Amino acid sequence: MKELARNLQNRHGLFMYLDFHGHSRKKNTFFYGPAYSIHEPNYYKSRIFPKLVEKVDPNFRFHSCSFSIEEEKKQTARAIMFDQMKVAFAYTIETSIGSFYDSQAMKTQKFNELEYKTIGTSILQGLSKFLVGFEEYEEILKERRASRQRRRPPTAKHMQTENQICALD
């Protein structure tokens, strides 16, 4: 697995890693995400994908998500992808293998095939929104950088070239 990821990272770059697990203790679906300090740009970005899933599916639990990597979890696939492979958005997505709290019915329900399909669809919808939003965000950043470049005061070299052009007139 590590070798495959390394090859993909070297050839194409890996933007995201998703690892799906069943969970026996916690209810509903939640993420374990990458561990960024609050001062890093990806701190907030890494929380957007799970938040978008929560907006699509009321039975997803954003408040149950964890964005840290404890010492005993340093050898998990998510931690290795994040720390060693430098995959910016490495998540483990956990779904209860038993029950979920239905926030609309306000009671605990047993998962069935339909609920599992629904959460899968919600994850894909959240991912789609995240990727589109991320692309738009990157485009906005590029435009802002280009705009700043255009507004920069002329350099001494630029002024010298401009003066030479004016002397030719």
Active site residues: 94
141's enclosing H/E stretch is helix 113-151
φ and ψ at residue 91, rounded to 5 degrees: -130, 150
The CA angle 116-60-32, to the nearest 5 degrees, is 100
- Specify the pairing of strand 89-96 against strand 107-110: unpaired
Helical (H) or strand (E) element with 121: helix 113-151
73: CB partners within 8 A, 6+ apart: 32, 79
The answer for residues whose C-beta is within 8 angstroms of residue 40's C-beta and 6 or more apart is: none
Other beta carbons within 10 Å of 108? 13
